[in-house]
């Protein structure tokens, strides 16, 4: 089998390529050049490309660089800024996986005659009795990345390989050390590749769009403070929002950018019985019918609930509703919400705004 391995310059993809070679596959490594601007973190730095190339040399496989900068800007960076301007909290790494590391790369691999694409994700692909495939959690629960792969459909899953999904991170590093790979002790990438560590989110966004000072409004309709940039407030945020008159901490419940307003309340006001989703996809083409576990952040604890399917939105976007077993914290609009049946990903979508808590009787307008 001819396999194109996405080599980020990290230990996981390095070992993935090595394991595929052991299985007798015809392996070629590729590093994606995604971000054309300055970068000192993530997986787009010059040193990462060099590490990937030198690992490929060590393994005796070809290595190439694909330039996807235009697609990355259009599919990841521009939507990242646009989401902030709409009061949403984007997840650019998921959009990068969706549009670049799988959709675009799988198509390029097909054109070049490869049978499969492999990555160093800590996840597995399992085949069910009915012949359908699903993403499943990796063996190392602390490093599991199935959450960020929830959008992969049946066509993609048939051509994806995750060679290290059945190994722990420690085992991957041990394997890299045994093989003398230069990435064996390399730290995991933690930051967004397109935002410099010395710059930060605010400076990145405000260099591309005007940010608006906003006001904090409580559930009684009273203005209780302000924020320097309403676009950068995340639902669930506590830092920078002060305390109520009784000393209780305030949390961001909803963000209204057109009105330059952040609705704030106590921690108890953060819980909701349901969480609406948009842009929903299901691994088997249909939602699960029974109880599920729902994960709302990359390494968050799963929450029990059920899924109800809405009628399509006017624009045709698939919608669904997660009904919690008991009220749970709101999910920031824009964040991925992934549905599991056991260890298998049943599907997922993007959180949209949950209804705010009712205002106390007699509350004055903001």
The catalytic residues are: 96, 193
CA gap 291, 325 in Å, rounded: 9
Q: Which helix (H) or strand (E) holds 261?
A: strand 261-265
Determine the Cα–Cα distance for residues 308 and 288; give it in Å rounded to an integer: 9
Q: What is the CA radius of gyration of the chain?
A: 22
Pairing of strands 214-217, 223-227: antiparallel
294 touches 342 (CB < 8 A): no
In sequence order, what DSSP letters do the residues of 27-77 get, joined into one string? EEEEEEE---S--SSTT-SHHHHHHHHHHHHHHT-EEEEEE-HHHHIIIII
What sign does the CA torsion over 257, 261, 263, 264 have?
positive
């Amino acid at each position: 089998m001819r396999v194109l391995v996405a080599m980020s310059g990290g230990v996981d993809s390095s070992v993935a390529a090595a394991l595929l070679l052991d299985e007798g596959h015809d392996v070629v490594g590729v590093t994606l050049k995604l971000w054309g601007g300055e970068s000192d973190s993530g997986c787009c730095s010059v040193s990462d490309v060099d590490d990937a190339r030198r690992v490929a040399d060590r393994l005796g496989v070809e290595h190439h660089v694909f330039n996807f900068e235009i697609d990355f800007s259009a599919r990841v960076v521009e939507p990242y800024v646009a989401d902030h301007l709409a009061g949403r909290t984007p997840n650019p790494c998921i959009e990068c996986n969706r549009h670049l590391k799988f959709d675009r790369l799988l198509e390029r691999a097909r054109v070049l005659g490869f049978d499969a694409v492999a990555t160093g994700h800590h996840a597995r692909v399992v085949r069910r009795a009915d012949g359908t495939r699903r993403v499943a959690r990796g063996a190392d629960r602390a490093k599991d990345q199935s959450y960020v792969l929830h959008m992969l459909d049946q066509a993609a899953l048939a051509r994806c390989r995750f060679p290290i999904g059945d190994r722990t991170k420690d085992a991957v590093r041990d394997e890299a050390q045994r093989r003398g790979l230069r990435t064996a002790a390399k730290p995991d990438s933690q930051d967004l590749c397109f935002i410099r560590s010395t710059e930060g989110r605010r400076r990145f966004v405000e260099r591309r769009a005007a940010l608006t000072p906003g006001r904090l409004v409580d559930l009684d309709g009273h203005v209780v403070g302000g924020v320097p940039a309403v676009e950068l407030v995340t639902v669930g945020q506590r830092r920078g929002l002060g305390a109520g008159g009784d000393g209780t901490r305030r949390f961001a419940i909803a963000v209204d950018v057109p009105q330059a307003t952040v609705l704030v309340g106590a921690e108890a006001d953060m819980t909701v019985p349901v969480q609406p989703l948009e842009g929903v996809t299901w691994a088997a083409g249909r939602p699960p019918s029974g109880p599920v576990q729902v994960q709302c952040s990359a390494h968050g604890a799963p929450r029990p609930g059920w899924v109800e399917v809405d009628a399509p939105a006017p624009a045709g976007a698939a919608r669904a509703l997660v009904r919690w077993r008991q009220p749970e914290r709101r999910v920031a609009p824009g964040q991925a919400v992934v549905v599991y049946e056991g260890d298998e990903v049943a599907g997922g979508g993007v959180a949209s705004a949950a209804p705010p808590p009712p205002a106390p009787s007699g509350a004055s307008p903001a």
